[in-house]
Amino acid sequence: MLLIVDIGNSNTVLAVYDGEICLHTWRCVSDRKRTDDEYAVLLQQFLATAELRFADLTAAAVSSTVPALVEKWQRLCRKYLKVEPLVAGVDIRTDMKIGVEFPQQLGPDRLVNAVAGRAKYGCPVIVLDLGTATTFDCVSAEGDFLGGVIAPGVAVAAESLGTSTARLPKVEFVRPKKALGTNTVQALQSGIVYGFAGLVDGVVRRLKQEMGGEVKVIATGGLAAGIAEAAETIDVVDPLLTLDGLRILYDLNKDENKDMNKDKEEK
């Protein structure tokens, strides 16, 4: 079985795949202070809920926007799973031309999303990830990664509004029945949900004009479903998109990764 580790700025999503099937997923806080041994205990506890053990995991793939945590998960995989994990990045095989000016600056999560969007939904495609940041990643009709847009995340913006103002409370992420709020909570919820839905629609329409043709828009991330209800340009919400992208990248690189593991065993 394949362990998938998707490390975001706020949360880490863990998944176990058997072939192309995602069997289980878990979510934890991306805690930079936690050691690799502490993460191992947490992983062991998650696996136990599915009646799985470390020995059941024969491979691993990691994507991270937090470099400090990559090394911890690499050490964990080597020590407890006895495997060398695949780490997503522009230096591994993607079968995709990267058409940005500075490829090494491209976040692994964006690359993973682009690979998954192309493989699962065809081209051209825009992948919208509503996480700590809001990212739009564009794949051309030829299957090349063109670039995209990075905007503030929904939760980050809402948190900033609550902490930077003296009289505005923190509110639950709920879509109000109408845009015109008649109290402060409704007004804040309207601004968050409809404001970001408007941001999404505005950016997507501009990107479609520049890309040309019929472009599919796929949304993923923890808040994707809520924004998709209010937005007009999202075609599909796929909560497993990033995880599937990591699985696809592992499959593309598994032969080379097996060689790395074999060399490590021989040494």
Spatial neighbors of 198 by CB under 8 A, at least 6 apart, are: none
Strands 2-7 and 11-18: antiparallel
Q: Biggest alpha carbon distance in the chain? A: 69
Q: What residues contact 75, with CB distance under 8 A and at least 6 apart?
A: 36
Indicate the DSSP class of residue 98: B
Q: What is the dihedral of CA 174, 176, 182, 188, to 10 degrees?
A: 40
Q: How many Å from the N-terminal Cα to the C-terminal Cα in the chain? A: 24
Q: In which element (H, E) is residue 22 found?
A: strand 21-29
Catalytic residue among 6, 109, 129, 238: 109
Report yes or no: 123 and 139 within 8 Å, Cβ to Cβ: yes
Distance CA 251, CA 108 (A): 16
Q: Tell me which amino acid residue 78 is.
A: R
* Residue 109 annotated as catalytic: yes
Residues acting as catalytic residues: 109
